[in-house]
């Protein structure tokens, strides 16, 4: 039986331009079922022979790409194994649908290069619809932000990295391409006076005012303040644990770890401790009226009567934005609130001593207000006493003797112990200066003032 014809491992063909192309068979594409070929063009036949040998070695060592995978297929395979948070997953799905698939979805990933990607990023930053730049009726160019364009770059780079690892692609062109530079953040937080105006307005709803008060003092993200539960608040030790965060996806509010995946403990000042204690007492009273027992895993800030439902993070931001617009603030974003101290806010005019009255019940509010005002005064005195004991006390300054005083003391000692008996001549000023390694003027002053 005659042996079957063996497929040639590769060959060299001459092009009409006079160049030569090395072609090597690299197996069958598992995605399309078609034969795959590795190609490389050279100027001379000898260079083409070297290229042919190199391509054959890649096939032998299994280093060649295994498929002519498209960008869309690479992104879909990456999404199958990527570990993303729900909100991140939704955001990436939108970016892939709007920008990646319409532009590169059917393009072979091997045909991507750094130039093509960088031009794509530049066009996105001119107009998110990738228009030609020519004016047309009804269209206004809206650039895509640098941060969003960088997310598109991250998606492409991560997907093509996975394709390289899985041998569907030889080189990741997105790893070579340069992403747009991140825009520099220019935070413009409210001043202490503006923060006081925000709080005085927010105290009309005591729970909302307390939420913003905590945001200003301990600086949690909106998801962290949304996820805060009563067992995270230790009023006896005046601390609060920030250990979880809520995120808002299309499926609803989902609890997760903090953005940094780290827990942190924050100390509270006496003002805040008492506000939280009063708020907790109010929750206990509310639940008791409903016939429900207060439990520590309830949310500190909740729109539901039983405290089991947290405020949605997006709702917190939107409510703050409406407040900031009403007060005509420069920044209307919640995360612009920086850390303030309670002393700084009170000094700026926060009407904190009326909070307990607003949190009280009916006629008891005035009594609560007087008790709270007395407590604040006593707390201030205790805090001052504590600071006085904690801060290091200044030590009395010890004056060091000058060189002439040291020399004068040494001469007096010599007179007292008889080394310089009465009537004896003192050494000359020059001799004293040399013997004591000092200036002649120092020796003269020691003799004239100290002896």
Give the number of C-alpha atoms closer than 13 A to the C-alpha of residue 308, restricted to the C-beta side: 5
Res 38 pLDDT > 50? yes
Report residue 377 as tokens.
């005064």
417 pLDDT tier (thresholds 50, 70, 90): confident
In a 3-state reduction of DSSP, which class is residue 41?
A: strand
d(C-alpha 49, C-alpha 47), whole Å: 5
pLDDT in tens, 218-233: 888 999 999 999 999 9
The mean pLDDT value of the chain amounts to: 80
Segment among 81-90, 98-107, 131-140, 230-239 with least mean pLDDT:
131-140
Angle formed at CA 389 by CA 388 and CA 394, multiple of 5 degrees: 70
CA-based nearest residue to 273, from 185, 210, 347, 216: 210
Where residue 424 falls (left for φ over 0; alpha for ψ -120 to 50; beta otherwise) is beta
Range scoring the smallest mean pLDDT among 158-162, 169-173, 354-358: 354-358
Structure-block tokens of residue 171: 């080189």
Distance of CA 249 to the CA centre of its chain: 21
In this prediction, residue 157 carries a pLDDT of: 95
d(CA 96, CA 385) in angstroms, rounded, equals 60
Question: What is residue 339's predicted lDDT score, i.e. its pLDDT?
Answer: 72
Per-residue pLDDT at 177 exceeds 70: yes
Q: How does residue 373 score in pLDDT terms, banded at 50, 70 and 90?
A: very low
- Which parts of 290-419 fold into alpha helices (H)? 313-326, 342-348, 355-359, 364-390, 403-416
For residue 4, the model assigns a pLDDT of 45
For the whole prediction, is pTM greater than 0.85? no
Of 94-108, 152-166, 329-343, minimum mean pLDDT range: 329-343
**pLDDT value of position 140:** 85
Q: In this predicted model, what pLDDT tens digit does every residue of 243-280 receive, in sequence order?
A: 999 988 888 888 888 888 888 998 888 888 988 998 89
- Please tell me whether residue 210 adopts helix, strand or coil conformation: helix
Q: What is the pLDDT of residue 61?
A: 64
For 10, phi then psi, to 5°, come to: 170, 170
Given a contact cutoff of 8 angstroms between Cβ atoms, the answer to whether 230 and 303 are in contact is no
* pLDDT for residue 141 is more than 90: no
Asked if residue 305 lies in contact with residue 290, where contact means CB atoms within 8 angstroms, the answer is yes
Q: What is the reported pLDDT for 366?
A: 40
Residue 364: predicted pLDDT? 39
Write down the pLDDT at residue 356: 43
Structure-model confidence comparison of residues 264 and 407, the more confident one: 264
pLDDT band at 387 (very low <50, low <70, confident <90, very high): very low
């Amino acid at each position: 039986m005659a042996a079957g014809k063996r497929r040639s491992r590769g060959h060299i063909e001459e092009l009409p331009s006079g160049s030569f192309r090395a072609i090597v068979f690299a197996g069958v594409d598992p995605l399309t079922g078609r034969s795959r070929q590795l190609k490389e063009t050279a100027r001379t036949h000898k260079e083409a022979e070297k290229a042919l040998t190199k391509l054959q070695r890649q096939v032998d060592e299994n280093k060649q790409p295994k498929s002519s995978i498209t960008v869309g297929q690479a992104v879909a395979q990456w999404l199958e194994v990527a570990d993303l948070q729900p909100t991140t997953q939704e955001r990436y799905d939108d970016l892939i649908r709007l920008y990646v698939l319409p532009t590169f979805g059917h393009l072979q990933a091997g045909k991507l290069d750094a130039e093509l990607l960088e031009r794509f990023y530049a066009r996105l930053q001119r107009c998110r619809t990738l228009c030609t730049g020519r004016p047309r009726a009804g269209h206004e160019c809206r650039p895509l932000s640098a941060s969003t364009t960088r997310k598109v770059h991250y998606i492409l780079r991560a997907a093509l990295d996975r394709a390289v690892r899985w041998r569907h692609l030889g080189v990741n062109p997105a790893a070579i391409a340069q992403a747009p530079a991140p825009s520099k953040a220019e935070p413009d937080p409210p001043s202490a006076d503006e923060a006081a105006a925000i709080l005085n307005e927010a105290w009309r709803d005591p729970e909302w005012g307390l939420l913003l008060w905590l945001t200003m003092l301990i600086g949690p993200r909106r998801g962290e303040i949304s996820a805060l539960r009563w067992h995270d608040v230790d009023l006896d030790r005046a601390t609060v644990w920030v250990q979880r965060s809520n995120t808002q996806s299309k499926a609803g509010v989902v609890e997760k770890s903090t953005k940094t995946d780290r827990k942190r403990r924050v100390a509270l000042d006496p003002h805040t401790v008492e506000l939280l204690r009063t708020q907790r007492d109010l929750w206990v009273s509310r639940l008791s009226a409903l016939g429900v027992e207060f439990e520590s895993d309830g949310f500190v800030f909740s729109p539901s009567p039983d405290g089991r439902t947290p405020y949605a993070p997006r709702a917190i931001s939107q409510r703050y934005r409406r407040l900031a617009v009403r007060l005509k603030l420069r920044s209307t974003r919640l995360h612009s609130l920086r850390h303030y101290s309670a002393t700084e806010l009170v000094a700026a005019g926060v009407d904190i001593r009326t909070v307990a009255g607003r949190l009280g019940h009916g006629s008891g509010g005035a009594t609560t207000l007087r008790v709270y005002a007395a407590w604040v005064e006593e707390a201030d005195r205790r805090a001052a006493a504590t600071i006085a004991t904690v801060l290091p006390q200044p030590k009395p300054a010890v004056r060091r003797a000058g060189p002439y005083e040291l020399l004068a003391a040494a001469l007096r000692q010599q007179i007292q112990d008889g080394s310089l008996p009465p009537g004896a001549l003192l050494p000359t000023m020059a001799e004293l200066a040399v013997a004591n390694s000092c200036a002649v003027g120092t020796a003269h002053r020691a003799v004239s003032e100290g002896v």
